[in-house]
Structure 1
Amino acid sequence: MNLSLKATLLTRIQGVSPWVGFYFLQSLLINLALGYPFSLLYAAAFACVLLLLWRTAPRLQKALVGVCSLIAALYFPFGQTYGSPNFNTLLALHSTNLQESSEILSLFPWYSYLVSLFIFALGVVALRRKKGEKKRWSSVDSLCLLFSAAAFFVAPVQNLTWGGKFKLQDTGYPAFRFIKDVIVNNNEVIDEQRRMAELSTMKDSWTVTAVKPRYHLYVMVIGESARRDALGAFGGHWNNTPFASSVNGYFFTDYVAASGSTQKSLGLTLNRVVDQRPQFQNNVITLANRAGFQTWWFSNQGQIGEYDTAIASIARRADEVHFLKSGDFEADKNTEDEALLNMTSQVLEADRSQPQLIVLHLMGSHPQACDRTHGKYTVFVQSKETSCYLYSITRTDELLHALYDRLRNSGESFSLVYFSDHGLAFKERGKAVQYLAHDDRFQQNFQVPFMVLSSDDKAHRLIKARRSANDFLSFFSQWTGIAAKEISSRYRFISGQNAGPVYVTNFKLQKVDYTHLGSDTFATRTR
């Protein structure tokens, strides 16, 4: 009896097609490549779908396999770093120029591309499969159909159970989710850009009630991708900011950015926000213009069009604006942040009776950091890219030092504020290819430096009270002495007053309690 049972089981095992395991492996890799959390359920269910389609509609199955394999192969490196498609990734696709795209591609480790090639190769093998003799429908086929159909309804039923709505498009199948997420988020980006374009051409609606500037020159330096724990002046492990560590001024040790990417973060920081939506016509530049300031915007960031990014829409309201990068296909040169100093000097050389607002937007520590530093670094930490990142912070510190000296030599009273738009998170942590990239899951993605240096400062002061970039307009009003009916200040920004809870906006445009985020501490392994 036992011999008979073993023989039967052996016969069934031998009768199982190797394509069953092949399609399961393919489904598993497609799931991972598209950036969604690992799910054995959907990997098995999609494998069943491929098996059933091969039996009933082989041409349709090959078309599905071909499309999914190609998309998965192309998206795998992005998916491992940035996750599944969301508003931020689609916004980046719309607003990233050719140079930034090439830099992002060079960030990913070589073996990510190897896996992509493997996924693509599996797709080629599947497409070359020959149709064999048609077999009768079996009970196993019925179970596959029942299982794959049931899996299709798992997520919609869960949403209904948790108080949401039952929608078939909410299925958890990665291939379907990817298509839905791309379409939905792309439509949201297009709607936001259309709204931004409409508001950017509208006249601002500020009601200025008082203008009492304390200084003649106001300079706002917007850094890029600088994690606060990477700066020695803010408690970082390395002494890489000698200027900021010693200069007199106010240093905020708990300032939290509004979001984890440049466009969204600065859109929420520099504009008036109503119902979580930036009012692009009412921003720091139009407020300063309305108050009689002369405004300047000098940028080393890319600009694709006149109003097609949140930053460009703000910058174009300044009296004078200049982008070192135009953002088109010829903007593939590595322009230096230091070039912005020469533009600033030209402003300082002329006598001007109006108070001045000068904005410098840096490339700073934007990935890939070794492109910022031309491959140079002073201390090796885990990987070359991490080491370059730390040195890019030093280069920004040197720029701030040079800018501060030029302001002092101008003979005018001044105040300089520096902050970064967002931080970064470690990828491939602990490996020789470790690097930093955008993320929204950790507190360090929002922990950025914020300092205010003025011509009359007498000491180096630390402010430990938590501050949010969502309150930046309140700071700007207090800093420049421009009061407006639309800006209400709940507390003195440069003080130790408690400001209350802080929320950030993640890549899905959800408001998240900052204290509920995880931690991504700086790796300090040196060589």
Structure 2
Amino acid sequence: MTSSFNEAAVSRNASRKNALLACGVVGVTLLALIALGHDGRRIAQLAVLAAPLVLWLAWPLRSARMRRVRTVTVWLWAMGFALDGVVRAYLLDTYQAAPDGAMVLGAAANTNARESGEYLQMHWRSAVIWSGALAIAGVLVGVFARRGAVAEAPTSSVRPRLPFWTRSLVLVLLLIACVAYLSKPWRRLHPAIFWVNWSHSVQTLRAAWANQQEVRDRSMAQAKAIAPVITKAGPSTVVLVITDSINRDNMALYGYGRPTTPRLQAHKAQAGDQMAVLQNAWSVDASTLPALRNMFYFGLPESENPPHVLALARAAGYKVWWISNHDDLAIEQQHARFADVVDMVNRTPGRASASLDGEILDCVQEALADTSTDRKLIVVHLMGAHPHYSLRFPENANPFDDNVDAVETALVNNGRSTWVRRFRQEYDAALLYHDFVVSELLQQTRSAGKSDDYRAWMYLSDHGQEVGHGSDRAGHSPSTASGYRIPAVVWRNSEALPAGAATQQPFRADWTGWTLMDLLHIQWSGQMHERNVLGASYRWQAPKIPVAVESFSR
């Protein structure tokens, strides 16, 4: 009897070891493929989401039929995560793109079976390599998923159970997984949910394209009917730089206590009255999409058939470029596709994108050097300081890190938390790098073409950012004035720009189109000169924003 009992104990121990080995191999295989297609904390998030059925292998099952069901279920579950990782890894390796990036969604929405076959003919080697990795994972998971824990029939004296530490660990991991599945940002990363949503996005994009192309066609026809004219002869180059999430209160150019804009200040000292820093610029929106819609529709997006800035520029005779470090389908379809040339440098959407704005400089230089036209409008759309701030400057390029200066002292005195002060340091480092990019764009514009060619440059942000100015928080802020306080700078190489008291008058970002038309020397019968901040007839009207502002003049 003792011998029989020992044999049963040995058998149980072997079964447990097999089960733990199965969990380990399946888990490590999944983790490796997840890591290929994801980075940072998303690896941990996907691992947690994948954990429940992997842990099922450690739970003893007596029924042979249930063990077969478990093997098949775990294999299908694991291969879903594995396929997700392989597809993402392929896209990253081949295109440095995410599956929900504009490039990939656009390609998927704009393809058919024949084009897909042609694509595979060109890229079959890469497809074979990644398919091989998936096949190896499938074999490993299939072999070890069969080795899940087996429950033996209980004897009269012993009822087989998992060791206490094993049960405790499994239950803790399952609890964490339950919390993850209750969190929408985590849950939507699950391959089953993500790819269903991805397919829906492709279908939505196809439908939106058909509609948006009609909108653009109508806008172009309307612009031609308006018949805008260029009033200045000769070559003309105008660069419009739109950045994201920049608060002028963090720019030394506007009097901030940290040296965040040394290059722009040097440009201002050198350019004199050719460069105007508008001291009291405001956005009327605290987020990007409505801000750009207002900006490109002259602040009249809700009026009947408002003209689009880029459509008018093209109708007048300008060749238009749109060069962007953003990856946003809505912006691309609503605005960028009006341009003759569209260059979307960044192919990873969302806040996790680490594409630095400096990547666009070569593209802008190529546009400035283009000889196909004498009239150019180049729109540059930067990430600026779009959260996360730490991704907006190169690694180890934060001179404000743990620097106890007057700004840090003021934040402490105002009761700002440690994490907000940390965000302020990262935000200011992002602005210092941003100063380099924006200054390079200005220098490129100043140096373009012949010395007597007309050139102009305008820079502003879509909206501001709260970084401990009015409250103990950091990020987009529709409820504080910091969400609307933006920089605005204009340069041109002919005709003096407003100076002194004139630069103190408030400026609205939704009126940018009227000022841009002045820089382009475009006129038409419906122009509202009183909204052009550079004009003598400019008349300020306070915007309606959902926050109390004591004065728009400071």
Give the TM bin, normalised by the shorter chain.
Answer: 0.5 to 0.7
The alpha-carbon deviation at position 258 of structure 1 amounts to 2.3
Q: Deviations over 1:480-516 (max 9, x none)?
A: 111123432225512576623321455xxxxx77558
Q: Distance in 1 between matches of 2:434 and 2:304?
A: 29
Q: Distance in 1 between matches of 2:549 and 2:212?
A: 27
Contact 1:300–1:363, Cα closer than 8 Å, also in 2: yes
Matched, 1:334 2:354: yes
Match of 1:268 in 2: 294
Match of 2:540 in 1: 500
* Aligned partner of residue 225 in structure 1, secondary structure: coil
1:278 to 1:326, Cα distance in 2 relative to 1, 3 A: farther
Query: Given the alignment, which residue of 216, 225, 238 partners 1:218?
Result: 238
The alpha-carbon deviation at position 397 of structure 1 amounts to 1.4
Matched, 1:360 2:380: yes
2:397 alignment partner AA: K
Contact 2:228–2:524, Cα closer than 8 Å, also in 1: yes
* Aligned partner of residue 316 in structure 1, secondary structure: helix
Contact 1:258–1:269, Cα closer than 8 Å, also in 2: no
Q: Deviations over 1:205-245 (max 9, x none)?
A: 12134212476210010011000111111222223211222
Match of 2:280 in 1: 254
Matched, 1:485 2:505: no
Contact 1:263–1:311, Cα closer than 8 Å, also in 2: no
Q: Distance in 1 between matches of 2:527 and 2:548?
A: 23
Q: Deviations over 1:409-428 (max 9, x none)?
A: 32343111000000012369
Q: Distance in 1 between matches of 2:539 and 2:209?
A: 32
Match of 1:208 in 2: 227
* Aligned partner of residue 502 in structure 1, secondary structure: coil
Superposition pairs of residues 103-122 of structure 1, within 5 angstroms: none
The alpha-carbon deviation at position 345 of structure 1 amounts to 1.2
Q: Distance in 2 between matches of 1:388 and 1:212?
A: 45
1:514 to 1:435, Cα distance in 2 relative to 1, 3 A: closer
Match of 1:351 in 2: 371
Match of 2:346 in 1: 325
Contact 2:532–2:538, Cα closer than 8 Å, also in 1: no
Q: Distance in 1 between matches of 2:338 and 2:261?
A: 33
* Aligned partner of residue 229 in structure 2, secondary structure: strand
The alpha-carbon deviation at position 268 of structure 1 amounts to 0.7
Q: Deviations over 1:419-472 (max 9, x none)?
A: 000001236988xxx652111122221110000112247789450011112322
Q: Distance in 2 between matches of 1:272 and 1:428?
A: 30
1:96 to 1:368, Cα distance in 2 relative to 1, 3 A: farther
Q: Distance in 2 between matches of 1:481 and 1:285?
A: 14
The alpha-carbon deviation at position 294 of structure 1 amounts to 0.7
Match of 2:324 in 1: 299
Matched, 1:453 2:474: no
TM-score normalised to structure 1 length: 0.54
1:375 to 1:202, Cα distance in 2 relative to 1, 3 A: farther
Q: Deviations over 1:280-338 (max 9, x none)?
A: 8x32211110011011000000123xxxx145421011000011223569x96522211
* Aligned partner of residue 202 in structure 1, secondary structure: helix
What percent of counterpart residues are identical?
18
1:465 alignment partner AA: Q
Superposition pairs of residues 470-481 of structure 1, within 5 angstroms: 470-481=510-521
Q: Distance in 1 between matches of 2:535 and 2:218?
A: 35
Match of 2:313 in 1: 288
TM-score normalised to structure 2 length: 0.52
Match of 1:245 in 2: 265
* Aligned partner of residue 338 in structure 1, secondary structure: helix
Matched, 1:229 2:249: yes
Structure 2 unmatched ranges of 5 or more:
1-99, 103-175, 183-203, 412-420
1:315 to 1:514, Cα distance in 2 relative to 1, 3 A: farther
1:503 to 1:458, Cα distance in 2 relative to 1, 3 A: closer
Contact 1:465–1:497, Cα closer than 8 Å, also in 2: no
Match of 2:110 in 1: none
Contact 2:385–2:430, Cα closer than 8 Å, also in 1: yes
Q: Distance in 1 between matches of 2:490 and 2:299?
A: 23
The alpha-carbon deviation at position 346 of structure 1 amounts to 1.2
Q: Deviations over 1:91-133 (max 9, x none)?
A: xxxx999xxxxxxxxxxxxxxxxxxx9x979x9xxxxxxxxxx
Q: Distance in 1 between matches of 2:305 and 2:474?
A: 31
* Aligned partner of residue 367 in structure 1, secondary structure: coil
Q: Distance in 2 between matches of 1:275 and 1:411?
A: 35
Q: Look at both structures and tell me which one has the larger radius of gyration over its CA atoms.
A: 2
Q: Distance in 1 between matches of 2:303 and 2:211?
A: 10
* Aligned partner of residue 378 in structure 2, secondary structure: strand
More strand by share: 1
